[in-house]
Amino acid sequence: MRIAQMNLQSGWGGGEALALLLGRELAARGAEVSFGCLPQSALAGRARASGFTTWHFTSRTQFSLTGALRLARYLRVLRPDVLHLHSAREYFVGALGGRLARVPCIVLTRHMALPAKAPMKPVYNVLCHRVACVSRAVQDELTRSGVHRGRTLVIYGAIDQTALRAKLQGREVAKVRLNFDPKKPLVGSIGSLLPAKGGADFLHAARLLCSDGFDGNFVMAGDGPQRGELENLARELKLETRVRFPGFVPEVADVLSALDAFVLATRESEALGLVLVEAMTARVPVVATNPRGGVSELVEHESTGLLTPPCEPAALAASLARLLKNAALRETLVENAAFKAAHFDAPRMADEYEMLYREVLAQR
């Protein structure tokens, strides 16, 4: 089976990680996988490093007819059995180009728990063959905004759990490597530093924790446009000696290994939150906000983690304080969470996508 994965994002995020992980799993099963990417994108570099053929494609606008025609000409040469689109940047161009080239199976993965915009509805309802949603919340949002539910299905995202476990270290050793006191508790987050991710709420919660006597430290791993603002806020809150911003960390295991608690403070929507799966797999207890989206499909309150309302630092601080003071609760949460996270592994995800491809191909 020839599978062309396509993603026109320049940076690295959950959608790009899912595409590469899926490509690796399918190639290990004998599929011929290639990646269509922006020439200098993070995905292009990592795909090439993993031994994949990459083909470069750019489109000046999201709804470019000339781009779709150019792609169709290329696809007629490539002749894939499956064209799999992974981000909104290429949904229209990819689906229309795939139809013009008569690609037998065009699949789109939706990573956002937001309503479908009106110009995109024909892409979901007509141009692609199926829409895979990374959570039930994503599927429900599409349905509410007019996408035919019969064209959608849920295929949960996944992580490479085997690789993550192999990279985990002892907690005290990991704290020392991050330049933290190994004897003090460490609370942290990992993700893009964007306003919607709730970094300011995390810092305000940290200030409340410290005011309540917490004698530990905090780490916010990741980079983004809000980094400078958050560093300034940490100084304003007199947390500059307690909080570190190490920037983008290539190996999340380096951070997760050091944590006594993991925080996801998203304010607006979260399609699923695979970083939560990473924390759960690493046996780090989780406190997460519960905005619109799929977080509650992973974190069941008081079973696999603690949920708090978004944009409420006091509630976040209270949940963290409860977690950090209660060893029995932490042990219960990590045991249940590890069992839950086992479902979100790469082989299961690849099985479901492979079945979807074969189903569509059989219909065609």
Q: Is 84 in the same domain as 105?
A: yes
pLDDT digits (tens, 9 = 90+) for 166-176: 999 999 999 99
pTM: predicted TM-score of the whole model, two decimal places: 0.92
The pLDDT assigned to 12 comes to 87
The pLDDT assigned to 282 comes to 98
In the chain, what's the furthest Cα-to-Cα distance?
Answer: 65
User: Distance between CA 91 and CA 308 in Å, rounded?
Assistant: 34
pLDDT band with cut points at 50, 70 and 90 for residue 237 = very high
Q: Is 165 in the same domain as 37?
A: no
pLDDT average, residue stretch 125-130: 97
pLDDT band with cut points at 50, 70 and 90 for residue 208 = very high
Mean pLDDT of the chain: 96
Residue 281 to residues 97, 157, 275, 296, 359: CA-CA distances in angstroms? 39, 14, 10, 17, 31
Q: Is 74 in the same domain as 110?
A: yes
Q: Is 19 in the same domain as 152?
A: yes
Q: Is 135 in the same domain as 7?
A: yes
Q: Is 298 in the same domain as 329?
A: yes
User: Distance between CA 158 and CA 17 in Å, rounded?
Assistant: 9
Q: Is 188 in the same domain as 268?
A: yes
User: Distance between CA 280 and CA 218 in Å, rounded?
Assistant: 19
pLDDT average, residue stretch 316-324: 98
pLDDT average, residue stretch 28-42: 96
The pLDDT assigned to 364 comes to 74
The number of distinct structural domains making up the chain is 2
Q: Is 353 in the same domain as 238?
A: no
**CATH code of the domain covering residue 309:** 3.40.50.2000
The pLDDT assigned to 60 comes to 85
Q: Is 214 in the same domain as 76?
A: no
Q: Is 313 in the same domain as 330?
A: yes
Residue 205 has pLDDT above 90, yes or no: yes
The pLDDT assigned to 233 comes to 98
pLDDT average, residue stretch 181-206: 97
Q: Is 57 in the same domain as 70?
A: yes
pLDDT average, residue stretch 250-265: 97
Q: Is 177 in the same domain as 137?
A: no
| Other Cβ atoms within 10 Å of 56 Cβ, number | 13
Residue 14 has pLDDT above 90, yes or no: no
State the residue range of the domain holding 300. Answer: 161-341
pLDDT above 70 coverage of the chain, percent? 100
